[in-house]
Amino acid sequence: MAKKSDKKIIFNKEKKMPPFAISFYSMEYNKTGGWRNFRPVIDYDKCSCCLICWKSCPEAAIKLKKTKVKGKEKFKPVIDYEYCKGCGICWEECPTEAIDIEEEAE
Amino acid sequence: MKLKIPEEEIMGHGNLACQGCGATLAMRLALKALGSNTVIVLPACCWSVIDGPFPHSVVNVPLFHTAFAAGPSTASGVKAALEIQGKDTNVVAWAGDGGTYDIGLGTLSGAAERNDDMIYVCYDNEAYMNTGIQRSSSTPLKAWTTTTPVENPKESHKKDIISIMAAHRIPYLATASVAYPEDMIEKFKKAKDIRGMRFILVFSPCPTGWKYAPQLTVKLARLAVQSRVFPLIEIENGIKWKLNKEITHPSPVSEYLKPQGRFKHLSDEDIAEVEQSVEADWNRLLEKTKK
Ligand SMILES: Cc1ncc(C[n+]2csc(CCOP(=O)(O)OP(=O)(O)O)c2C)c(N)n1
Ligand code: SF4
Ligand code: SF4
Ligand SMILES: [Mg+2]
């Protein structure tokens, strides 16, 4: 598979294939964090690292960070505000109510 | 600590879906199970937009846009071409309910009857969302859409696509839900190791089309399973039906209906009628799984 970082767009004449345009660029330029009206904030004192928020985020905007809690290795969810659209699913789903939602400042 | 769900994200950042889109969560989870040795064939649907404008794409696997009715036939061709090149790649046709239950049904039936080697995924948001919420044959009984207004809501039942596909006796068929990610990922992994036509129906709530607050996407998907509206099942070779999740104490169907604006016009009698239809479908399903 061609890497998305390759900058050419292929119109394959050599193999006599029909013109075939390939998207090599990612969508990372599209910082969807700017769409957010509400900002989810995790209170790590209440977070049990169950990762339900991570599983439920449509944007893959929750990252996992390895940490140690009471000597045990765990993954901690960390919200990437560059891409979080503020849908509130993580807030709704969190079983320990560790996620609060705040109105975004203008 | 081990994760039950693969950590790697094959779907990247910056997609164009609405906030809280169930179909986007469906793709994120499916790709985690499928891995990067995958090609997606995409007929027209919301995902044609979600993926991004040329020359950009949010999924880090090749994605082929095709005509609305041609998802299955394009996937058959892509698979054949890859086989000629000696490549063993997962070919996934990814279509909406309009593309599956309605316009793509003919080509889907053809590919299923030939038992072509693909994973066909229908993300079901129960209407033509991309073009402005028109009813499809997957739209449930009594629901509002822009073509079934509240004065005249949908009169017919949701089409039973599962039985249609089972009648083709394809090797693997499953339903999945974005509210049950472990179950969903297990089913995609299982499908990956089977050859021939595999069909997975993923229940994908749509806040824009169903008129509910975007934070409720996963909750509604869960309520659909718990109220027996959307059973989680698997079928092998069209004959061995298996219920993955017994629902012994179902939640009331009304709990699923009430948060959704598309059902806001329903009277108590209407709700009772929907409940009866859910119960009848469930009993029919139980007969099949008991065999
Ligand atoms: C032959 C043809 N007719 C109509 C359209 C316009 N069209 C594009 S997407 C779409 C709706 C798709 O609905 P569905 O398959 O349910 O996917 P969703 O948008 O809901 O995700 C329609 C009608 C088209 N692209 N091609
Ligand atoms: S608000 Fe939505 S987009 Fe943001 S982190 Fe939570 S689930 Fe993800
Ligand atoms: S209309 Fe619905 S399915 Fe389409 S992108 Fe928006 S939320 Fe997703
Ligand atoms: Mg649809």
Report the distance separating Cα B21 and Cα B77, nearest Å: 30
In the predicted model, is pLDDT for residue A69 greater than 90? no
Residue among B14, B22, B207 whose CB faces A32 most closely: B14
Alpha-carbon gap, residue A106 to B110, rounded angstroms: 54
pLDDT tens readout for residues B65-85: 999 999 999 999 999 999 999
Question: Which residue of B28, B36, B215 is in closest CB contact with A91?
Answer: B215
Provide CB contacts within 8 A for B87, sequence distance 6+: none
For the record, the structure tokens of A35 come out as 């769409």
Query: What CATH superfamily is the domain B22-289?
Result: Thiamin diphosphate (ThDP)-binding fold, Pyr/PP domains (3.40.50.970)
Q: How far is B268 from chain A (nearest CA, A)?
A: 28
The percentage of residues in chain B with a pLDDT greater than 70, rounded to a whole number, is: 99
Every domain of chain B and the residues it spans? 22-289
Residue with structure tokens 């999924």? Answer: B59
Q: From the candidates A39, A51, A55, A68, which should be mutated to test the interface with B, based on the most B CB atoms within 10 A?
A: A55
Mean pLDDT of B252-281: 98
- Quickly state the pLDDT bin for B2 (edges 50, 70, 90): confident
Q: What is the pLDDT of residue B3?
A: 87
**Residues A4, B57: C-beta atoms closer than 8 Å:** yes
Instruction: Measure B18 CA to ligand 3 centroid, in angstroms.
Output: 5
pLDDT greater than 80 at residue A8: no
Q: What DSSP assignment string belongs to chain B?
A: ---SS-----B-S---PPTT-HHHHHHHHHHHHH-SSEEEEEESSHHHHHT-STTB-SBSS-EEEE-TT-HHHHHHHHHHHHHHTT---EEEEEEEHIIIIITTHHHHHHHHHTT-SEEEEEEE-SSBTTTT-B--TTSPTT--BTTB-TTS---SPPP-HHHHHHTTT-SEEEEEETT-HHHHHHHHHHHHTS-SEEEEEEE---HHHHT--GGGHHHHHHHHHHTTSS--EEEETTTEEEESS--SSPPPHHHHHTT-GGGTT--HHHHHHHHHHHHHHHHHHHHHHH-
Which tens digits make up the pLDDT trace of A23-41? 789 999 999 999 999 999 9
Can you tell me the mean pLDDT for B147-167?
97
Tokens of A66: 């390895």
- What was the ipTM of the complex prediction? 0.96
- Which chain A residues are closer than 8 Å to B215 by Cβ? 87-89, 91-92
The predicted model gives B172-181 an average pLDDT of 98
Mean pLDDT of B207-222: 98
Nearest atom of ligand 1 to the alpha carbon of B130: 19
Residue B81 has a pLDDT of 95
Whether the predicted pLDDT of B59 surpasses 80: yes
Q: Measured from the CB, is residue B121 less than 6 Å from ligand 1?
A: no
Gap between the Cα atoms of A60 and B175, Å rounded: 23
pLDDT at A20: 64
B187 neighbors B30 (Cβ within 8 angstroms): no
CB contact, 8 Å: B283 with chain A? Answer: no
Sign of the alpha-carbon torsion through A21, A27, A30, A35: positive
Q: Is the pLDDT reported for residue B260 higher than 60?
A: yes
Question: If you write DSSP's letter for every residue of B38-68 in order, what string do you get?
Answer: EEEEEESSHHHHHT-STTB-SBSS-EEEE-T
| pLDDT above 60: residue B247 | yes
